[in-house]
Amino acid sequence: MQTIISIKPLLAVLASLLAVPLILKTGENRPNLRETWSILAGVIKFSIIISMVPTILSGNTIEYTLVSFYQGIDIKFRVDAFGLLFATVSSFLWIVTTFYSIGYMRSGNEHAQTRFFACFAISLSSTVAVAFSANLITLFLFYEVLSLATVPLVGHKETPESYEGARKYLLYLLSLSKTLLLSGIIIVYMVAGTTDFQSHGLLRNQPASMLLFGAFFLFLYGFAKGGVMPVHNWLPSAMVAPTPVSALLHAVAVVKVGVFSILRVVFFIYGVDLMGLMDIGVVASYVVTFTIVMGSVIALSKDNLKARLAYSTVSQLSYIILGAVLLTSSSMLGGIMHIANHAFSKITLFFCAGSLYCSAHKTEVSQLSGIGKKMPWTMAAFFIGSLSMIGVPPAAGFNSKWLLAIGSIEANQIPILMALLFSTILNAAYFLPITYKAFFEKEVVSNHSSHGHDDHHDDIRENPMIVVPLVLTAIISLLIGIYPDYFLALAKEVIK
């Protein structure tokens, strides 16, 4: 294994950041050029990230130090298999989401589109910076940048409701990171003299102590973007944002940065051996299993489609954390792979929710009777995304859920296996009726919906600019279920 010094990680971070002044300069007057910059930056970013794959798969790492402040404190990037997996997913989906956003924002004639695309670009820069962070200090810095960059996106509609959602979003994330998360980082620095991520764990040779036991839960709840109950409430509140933002928040960038950061702490700060020695894994696994089940139960009670998807996200994020903290090879593979599997499947579902809103002005599950005949592409893609979330083969979610189930048996945690099976039944209970209503129930005709739109489906037409991205992500969520080799190879590199 070799460490290669290269500027590529920094270039990958800067690709979308350098597009921001160009997006702002072209502005509202030249929307085609403005959006070309977004797409071009996305393609460049993805190309740089993919160019590092052969180096990482051959067992090497890539490093680049930006600035050193003090011994053990520096802003430094390090590309390993785990960071590369997350960066691949987020950078590819940014390209897809940009195309989707163009269709969505234009069809709704949304205001402040330049601000929207600029904040999107900053968000993706900080997401990739988190993916490639070499230590907790760098990760914390860009974690905070991501929180700030996404606030204007959450409050984009500039209504009292969206301002309230943005306020709660900012309050939750900043208050918990400035208190719990920062405390955890200080403890690690005091104990180890550095916060650098290391294979098998920076703290692996430290004796077990209550301080380190407690510090882990500072990270678990301090990384509030991970949505572990009870610090999940910001996530449903952020649903006031436009659908492309919800897709970014709940499928790719924000929530995945949360769980990715928690897994970084599990694998590269504590390490599997210390986690097992102090029984942190057992306690944490029951904490997140509670979130898995309760998130699904609450999702089942929601009629608003985006709210149902939001609580589904709360539940699904904890699958990823559960895989890591069960500490068996199967569960860890399942948890890591679920980062990618969930991203492609959940973004498909949010894209479909946006398509329903743009073309039919439907926001509630109860309004969807018969809509499948008018929006067949959207609802077929929704069905595929649903199968992945439930864990039905050959969709992507089956692979990770199967590995999690095997892992819970390997860890001799039968109650957790039962909870996983129960949660899967709940997934089916809140997803499948949506497809059934769309394709098999007759349209309920009323003169006016609660939103003031005619509820009749006759005038509904799918928008190709919105439909093409959601069909693409649905197909990919099937393909990575059938051919999981790329993400599996990276996941195996992580747990070596």
Task: For residues 463 and 466, give the distance between their C-alpha atoms in angstroms, rounded to a whole number.
Answer: 5
Identify whether 406 is part of a domain: yes
Backbone angles phi, psi at 304, to 5 degrees: -70, 125
Identify whether 133 is part of a domain: no
Peptide bond into 207 cis (omega under 30): no
DSSP assignments along 226-254, one per residue = G--TTS-THHHHGGGS-HHHHHIIIIIHH
Averaged confidence pLDDT in the chain: 89
Per-residue model confidence (pLDDT) at position 452: 44
Task: For residues 33 and 7, give the distance between their C-alpha atoms in angstroms, rounded to a whole number.
Answer: 28
425 Cβ contact partners less than 8 Å away, ≥ 6 residues apart? none
Torsion of CA 48, 51, 52, 54, to 10 degrees: 170
Reference 423, options 302, 343, 311; nearest CA is 311
Domain count, the chain: 1
Identify whether 400 is part of a domain: yes
| Residue 4 bridge partners (DSSP) | 62
Task: For residues 176 and 69, give the distance between their C-alpha atoms in angstroms, rounded to a whole number.
Answer: 25
Identify whether 205 is part of a domain: no
Residue ranges of the chain with per-residue pLDDT less than 70 = 108, 444-458
Residue with tokens 């997350």: 86
Identify whether 195 is part of a domain: no
Task: Please give the C-alpha separations between residue 472 and each of 92, 281, 385, 411, in angstroms, as whole numbers.
Answer: 12, 37, 11, 37
The answer to whether the Cα torsion of 287, 257, 299, 157 is positive or negative is positive
Identify whether 219 is part of a domain: no
| Residue 79 bridge partners (DSSP) | 62
Per-residue model confidence (pLDDT) at position 450: 44
| Residue 90 bridge partners (DSSP) | none
Domain that holds residue 313: 279-496
Per-residue model confidence (pLDDT) at position 184: 95
Identify whether 318 is part of a domain: yes
Identify whether 349 is part of a domain: yes
* Amino acid type, 44: I
Per-residue model confidence (pLDDT) at position 455: 47
Per-residue model confidence (pLDDT) at position 449: 45
pLDDT tens-digit readout, 328-386: 999 999 999 999 999 999 999 999 998 898 888 888 888 888 888 889 999 999 999 99
161 Cβ contact partners less than 8 Å away, ≥ 6 residues apart? 240
